[in-house]
Amino acid sequence: MRISAPKAESKNASASASADDGFELRSLQDAFDKDRRYKASEEELLGFYQTMLLIRRFEERAGQLYGLGLIGGFCHLYIGQEAVAVGLQSALEEGKDSVITGYRDHGHMLAYGIDPRLIMAELTGREAGISRGKGGSMHMFSTEHAFYGGHGIVGAQVSLGGGLAFAHKYREDGGLCMAYFGDGAANQGQVYETMNMASLWNLPIIFVVENNQYAMGTSVKRSSAETEFYRRGTAFRIPGMEVNGMDVLEVHQAARIAIDHVRGGNGPVLMELNTYRYRGHSMSDPAKYRTREEVQGVREKSDPIEMAKAELLAMGVDEDKLKDIEKAIRATVTEAAEFAEKSPEPEVGELYTDVLVGKY
Amino acid sequence: MAIELKMPALSPTMEEGTLAKWLVKEGDSVSAGDVLAEIETDKATMEFESIDEGTVGKILVPEGSENVKVGTVIAVLNGEGEEAAPSAEAAAPAAAEPEAKTETSAASAPERPKSAERAADPEVPAGTNMHKLSVREALRDAMAEEMSRDDRVFVIGEEVAEYQGAYKVTQGLLEEFGPKRVIDTPITEYGFAGIGTGAAMGGLRPIVEFMTFNFAMQAIDHIINSAAKTNYMSGGQMRCPVVFRGPNGAASRVGAQHSQNYGPWYASVPGLIVIAPYDASDAKGLLKAAIRSDDPVVFLENELVYGNSFDVAQLDDHVLPIGKARIMREGADVTIVSYSIGVKFALEAAEKLAEEGIDAEVIDLRTLRPLDTQTVLESLAKTNRLVVAEEGWPACSIASEVIAVCMEQGFDLLDAPVMRVCNEDVPLPYAANLEKLALIDAARIVSAARKVCYKD
């Protein structure tokens, strides 16, 4: 513990809060604003496009299987938000950097290269599912890929992410944790408890607010006194970044800046990704809190996949090539859905396994 | 390829709905995301979107149809370049049979596997030196030994480092292991319980100290929802080897908010190990076992016994089995089952009962989950009479659980109803006289033991 003499606090002592030791809320944002878009090679952009499209088609199929009664309970789709997980996670080192998120987790897993068949089979509650059918949509994990869930309690993943970052630092393994949460979770107290400790202990963590504008049915304006979420780390001296979450190249560029900062041993970063979910909060949400026109407007003007596609065409990528990609993804998703439908349910004996690890 | 559009389930509980309105007509071309129809469920009107591109073929269920079963084919969508001609078999709406649905009513739970061979406390070799150790020192030594043994083990909590522990349980650890492994936190239980749990998921072995378990209520979501359930929810992938420890139960004159026994709360949760030792030997041996366990452990101490000293065998590695009760005193007439500080009162009561010619056996449960029902039932088979003594509220308690076990599995062994001796069913008062009245003591255990022996 550092014990120092009380500071002579005076508002006049410095023009800004940053003057004493250089903290500036916008220090990273300023660097980002100079050049907001990543200059992707054709191959890289094709990769982003492909993963985003996989998420889109996968989620559409999940919605369909839900409608058929093959998926039960809660099912939160990532449609519209694809550029966030893809842009960010493509900048991480898979297997070394850990990722943790809330219940809207399918996209983050697909972005980390996890087999869509295992995810879909978990959605249908089958033995072959990634959690062997015992977790469901909201509770999926892959320790192999350093994907730590998949958590159903709003905001819990942020403290847990703080713990993963703590473990990276403790083991000195060079990894960092990317902890995603929504604009709804951003109002949970434990998020700020964690920001405080993460900054105090200089933990390697990137807090990612996926601001999709609605916490279930409550718009950001109706729930949050400060709607600029990137500012919310100011009290803990965490620099913030405000990013267009509908543009995968902007997301990727911002991620690289944030990751450099964290890997440099400078402590946490808070990123706000402004995005939009096209579907309801979960499958059973009629989404009456917003107009059809609002949703259509975003889809038509800012769709991340259409934007990437247009950019690829402008780069001179052959349209047939994109069609082939689309076809291959459809086949992958169809195969995943068939796998998920045909796989058997867990053996009844599985009811009692995995409660405890040890024998007592 | 024609795609059958089926009546969707739009909520976890929907079985049928009303097809309120078609927003497309036959021959319309649609793309993914276009709204095809409005469907009314019991809760709301939902929009039914197209998942694929194509041309609307035949509409099979007209708008206004009520009680349309989930899975019924309501329309056909033709893919690119296909004629808008419905196939013959799709012409008549038919309720689909979702193959995946299993009859849960007919299914019964399979036999629960029996637990493993029961471990016994390791033999203490003859001639082993015994030394007096306070519970506080025993806990400290357990942590220090495990920290030396395994560099993944660290201690985190309020005042654990520089202050040497609010109750001095972590005394000297900072000096011995340094600030990387003995970490003071801000007063932020929810947050640091989450960080501890996350660090365990990330491969470390945290010991999370709560200044008292009363403050762990701020953090109980992580103990239960994050730590206890994740291994199961992940199909056995995600380990969470964390120990949550600290004083539990009534202290002295600290009032209702600082005086509560959480044993029954945590012991009701599958996925947790719950340990509540009484003496120094068990405190040391079980805390070492808890730290080594691959499961999340709630380790409940008691402030009032921290300073009490007991004989502890001087062994290089004193580790005791989790899930095993200990017979503290053998007897033939009545069994007194207890744990934590209750054991102290139970032993006092046994002394008094002996003076009256009643030979009481005292069992310290030590682990509250999994509960060692076998030791309890074996003792009941011997004495046929049983009292449970618990420093805690009576309702939904460990006492209730032990009584249920005796009823279910030992009914024929009972010569008298099992009685429980618990705290009064009130928040703990501050006034010295009222506090004394509210808490269990040896006299009340003696009285209950006499009753079940019909010697009252």
- Which segment of A73-77, A138-142, B4-8, B194-198 scores lowest on mean pLDDT? B4-8
Mutation target vs A (from B195, B224, B226; most A CBs, 10 A cutoff): B195
Q: Pick from B11, B186, B226: which is nearest to A160 by CB?
A: B226
pLDDT score recorded for residue A11: 41
Smallest CA-to-CA distance from B154 within B125, B187, B185, B133 is with B185
Query: Above 90 in pLDDT, residue A106?
Result: yes
By CA distance, what is A282's nearest residue in B? B11
Q: How many CB atoms lie within 10 A of CB B87?
A: 12
Contact of A238 with A207, CB cutoff 8 Å: yes
Q: Pick from A1, A284, A349: which is nearest to B184 by CB?
A: A1
Local confidence band at B92 (pLDDT 50, 70, 90 cut-offs): very low
d(CA B228, CA B239): 10
Query: Above 60 in pLDDT, residue A2?
Result: no
Chain B partners within 8 Å of A143 (Cβ): 237-238
Chain B partners within 8 Å of A161 (Cβ): 198
Task: Compute the nearest-CA separation of B153 from chain A (Å).
Answer: 11
Of the candidates B4, B146, B189, B303, the residue annotated as catalytic is B189
> CB A166 to CB B202 under 8 A?
yes
pLDDT score recorded for residue B86: 41
d(CA A102, CA A131): 16
- Residue B98 or B75, more confident: B75
pTM, full prediction: 0.90
pLDDT score recorded for residue B312: 96
By CA distance, what is A142's nearest residue in B? B237
| Chain A, chain B: beta-carbon pairs less than 8 Å apart | 233
Average pLDDT on B251-271 reads: 96
Smallest CA-to-CA distance from A275 within A153, A147, A107 is with A107
Q: How many CB atoms lie within 10 A of CB A293?
A: 8
Local confidence band at B436 (pLDDT 50, 70, 90 cut-offs): very high
Q: How many CB atoms lie within 10 A of CB B329?
A: 17
d(CA B424, CA B435): 10
Chain A partners within 8 Å of B42 (Cβ): none
Average pLDDT on B228-251 reads: 97
pLDDT in tens, B314-325: 999 999 999 999
Residues in chain B: 456
> CB A358 to CB B101 under 8 A?
no
Average pLDDT on B444-448 reads: 98
Average confidence score pLDDT of chain A: 93
Q: Pick from A70, A148, A189: which is nearest to B201 by CB?
A: A148
Report residue B69 as tokens.
């079963």
Query: Above 50 in pLDDT, residue A136?
Result: yes
Conformation bin of residue B216: beta by default, left when phi > 0, alpha when psi is -120 to 50: alpha
Average pLDDT on B162-171 reads: 96
Residues in chain A: 360
pLDDT in tens, B365-377: 999 999 999 999 9
Query: Above 70 in pLDDT, residue A3?
Result: no
> CB A196 to CB B191 under 8 A?
yes
Smallest CA-to-CA distance from B205 within B245, B160, B158, B232 is with B245
Of the candidates B146, B258, B391, B401, the residue annotated as catalytic is B258
Residue ranges of E strands in B138-272:
153-157, 182-184, 205-209, 243-247
By CA distance, what is A99's nearest residue in B? B202
Local confidence band at A6 (pLDDT 50, 70, 90 cut-offs): very low
Collapsed DSSP state (helix, strand, coil) of residue A207: strand
d(CA A140, CA B237): 10
pLDDT score recorded for residue B115: 67
Collapsed DSSP state (helix, strand, coil) of residue B165: coil
B116 touching A, CB under 8 A? yes
Name the β-bridge partners of B4. Answer: B76
Conformation bin of residue A26: beta by default, left when phi > 0, alpha when psi is -120 to 50: alpha
d(CA A51, CA A82): 8
Name the β-bridge partners of B335. Answer: B361, B386
Query: Above 50 in pLDDT, residue B30?
Result: yes
Percent of chain A with pLDDT over 70: 94
Q: Pick from B107, B196, B226: which is nearest to A156 by CB?
A: B226
Q: How many CB atoms lie within 10 A of CB A335?
A: 13
Angle (CA) A18-A20-A25 rounded to 5° is 15
pLDDT score recorded for residue A349: 95
> CB B194 to CB A98 under 8 A?
no
Identity of the residue numbered B233 = M
By CA distance, what is B233's nearest residue in A? A135
Contact of A156 with A100, CB cutoff 8 Å: no
By CA distance, what is A154's nearest residue in B? B221
pLDDT score recorded for residue A23: 85
pLDDT score recorded for residue B99: 46
CB contacts under 8 A, B 361-420 vs A, are 367, 370
B323 touching A, CB under 8 A? yes
**Preceding amide of A150 cis, omega within 30:** yes
Q: Pick from A67, A139, A171: which is nearest to B9 by CB?
A: A67
Name the β-bridge partners of B75. Answer: B5, B59
> CB A68 to CB B6 under 8 A?
yes
Q: What is the DSSP string of B201-248?
A: HTT-EEEEE-SSTTGGGGGHHIIIIIIITHHHHTTT------EEEEE-
B258 belongs to the catalytic site: yes
Chain B partners within 8 Å of A139 (Cβ): 230, 233-234
pLDDT score recorded for residue A18: 45
Q: What is the DSSP string of A30-44?
A: HHHHHS-S----HHH
Local confidence band at B107 (pLDDT 50, 70, 90 cut-offs): low
Tokens 């945590």 label which residue? B266
Q: Pick from B110, B201, B232: which is nearest to A134 by CB?
A: B232
